[in-house]
Copies of this chain bind each other. A is one copy, B any other.
Amino acid sequence: MRASRYLIATQKETPADAEIISHQLMLRAGMIRKLAAGLYTWLPMGLRTLRKVERIVREEMDKSGAQEVLMPAVQPAELWQESGRWEQYGGELLRLNDRHGRDFCFGPTHEEVITDLIRNELKSYKELPANFYQIQTKFRDERRPRFGVMRAREFLMKDAYSFHINRESLDETYQLIHQTYCNIFDRLGLNYRPVQADSGAIGGSASHEFHVLASSGEDDIVFSTDSDYAANIEKAEAVAPAGDRPAPSQAMTEVHTPGQKTIAAVSEFLGLPAENSVKTLLVHGEPDEDGKSGLVALILRGDHNLNEIKAEKLDGIAEPLTMATDEEIEKAIGCKPGSIGPVDLPVPMIVDRSAAHLADFVCGANRDDYHLTGVNWERDVALGRVEDLRDVVEGDPSPDGKGTLEIRRGIEVGHIFKLGNKYSEAMNANVLDENGKAVTLEMGCYGIGVSRIVAAAIEQNHDDRGIIWPDAIAPFEVAIVTLNGHKSEAVAEAGEKLYAQLRQAGYDVLLDDRKERPGVKFADMELMGLPHRFVVSERGLEAGTLEYKGRRDADKQDVPLEEALSFLVKASPKNSL
């Protein structure tokens, strides 16, 4: 492509309303433009990368044996009513009426449509397993769209749905797609990790997320130092501390702690470490038949965080998890939230595994401005129910018994689920097994956020001059910058010759033949993140050389004109060569 005939819409200023680096750089590099909140136009430069990501996803899905289909974006309400999601799904589902007043939605996902298709088309176990995917524009009416295409309302997604006669077959395809996703992210050239994840609202028995590692990620990803174990922090198990609980060595004592309401304040006031205190959180219990719920106390070590996903799943806890209000607490306990503790607490308790391992600990005295020190389980208060309630922290032992845990930030770009028969049962999707008996289908579903990958790749690969694309998804792999090509015929000619040569060899090349100053061209090529840059100049031509610089290189180097292609092939091998 010749830059003079292409929309190079770079911007110097960082747009005011772009909070994260990928959003800023996608705007500045002329990849996207905002149309309305959460709605973006992909400009030519951005769409090239999006299409390259799409192509890699498609090729690998095809290789896995999945079959591509294309379902309507607009879906009739009837199917969503059949699965029950018409009622369950919140404001993110964009509902609409056609001209005859019938209810439809702009689909954020296609479980119902594909299940409806499959129950009509597949009749026998012989036709299974089958896996269908599409790459399609989806709509999710985010309450607060932000971060550019990272959390847009309209986005490009690959969604796949597999169907099986039994669990074993689902497990096999799940593993196959797990591997396919690894192949995809390997080809994309991204640093990523598949991690165990919570199945969330979609349900099902197992799920993995695929995260692009980036310090700006919204998720905490947990790894073992010594094994393959990796999980979203939502899911990572905090194992019980090793050994027995230490024996009591102190007497329980009530101390006056005027105005000290937080763990940090109380610890400092008492000169005792936070990890030897407990905090007591009151949440709503499961409602009874009349819809009324009492309170339940969750007891954690003072330096640990409650894991709401874990708590919410426990029997006896209301879903979604709701914290008790200050009023409810005062009414039930008789003190303010900052002074609650397990001793003589008048509501049921669930104690975190680590908190259950403490001896001689500090806690609230259930009396305003008082705490207890030297408290011990069983001696001063019955321990009762112990559960895993907390987020893991760095240094925790890995749940698989191998090594300790580290935590990094990740951006979720893929998610695979074993759905089981959640949809097939609700929608009566079954086939005949080898004995002629109707069997409810087992299902898996597998998503990749295609447009989100573009933003995630930038979050992981950039510097203060702009984007640094992996070769596989760069809008152009190579930039050829001609210096004063509009004045020097020799430069223009050498640029065109190199352009033709590299294209012939299969490279995707941008020839920057614009009448711009060298500094402007260099800045643009770096901002847009093109991985390889050749500069054609009069001075270089006199010496028979081009200047080469890789986007991550600190220094430029001279390359003899006739060696440009072989040099590039070494730097960025092409399969076709």
Contacts and interface: CB of A to CB of B under 8 A. Distances in A.
Nearest to A91: B99
Contact of A141 (B6, B44, B99, B106): B99
A76 interface: yes
Contacts of A137: 73, 136-137
Contacts of A141: 98-99
A508 interface: no
A5 B50 CA distance: 30
Interface stretch (A34-42, A388-396, A532-540): A34-42
A153 B50 CA distance: 27
A68 B47 contact: yes
A484 B169 CA distance: 28
Contacts of A68: 44, 47
Contacts of A143: 99
Contacts of A106: 74, 96, 106
A58 to B, nearest CB: 10
Contact of A153 (B7, B74, B120): B74
Contact of A75 (B35, B47, B139): B35
Nearest to A7: B67
Contacts of A113: 35, 41
A337 B72 CA distance: 48
Nearest to A122: B7
A94 B39 CA distance: 17
Contacts of A241: none
Contacts of A72: 35-36, 39-41, 154
A386 interface: no
A5 B65 contact: yes
Contacts of A39: 72, 74-76
B50 A7 contact: no
A130 interface: yes
Given A7-B121, A96-B94, A99-B91, A76 B44 contact: no
A67 B6 contact: yes
Contacts of A139: 73-74
B70 A117 contact: no
A357 interface: no
A451 B43 CA distance: 24
Nearest to A77: B36
Nearest to A137: B73
Given A94-B96, A106-B106, A117 B41 contact: yes
Nearest to A104: B36
B50 A70 contact: yes
A91 B101 CA distance: 11
A175 to B, nearest CB: 18
A136 B73 CA distance: 12
Nearest to A118: B7
Question: Which of A42, A70, A96, A116 has the largest count of B CB atoms less than 10 A from its CB?
Answer: A70
Given A35-B76, A35-B113, A41-B71, 14 more contacts: A5-B65, A9-B121, A35-B71, A35-B72, A36-B76, A36-B104, A39-B75, A41-B70, A42-B69, A73-B137, A92-B99, A94-B99, A98-B153, A137-B137
Interface of A: 5-7, 9, 33, 35-36, 39-44, 47, 50, 65, 67-76, 91-92, 94, 96, 98-99, 104, 106, 113, 116-117, 120-121, 130, 132, 136-137, 139, 141, 143, 153-154
12 contacts: A39-B74, A39-B75, A40-B72, A41-B69, A50-B70, A72-B154, A73-B137, A73-B139, A91-B99, A92-B99, A96-B96, A106-B106
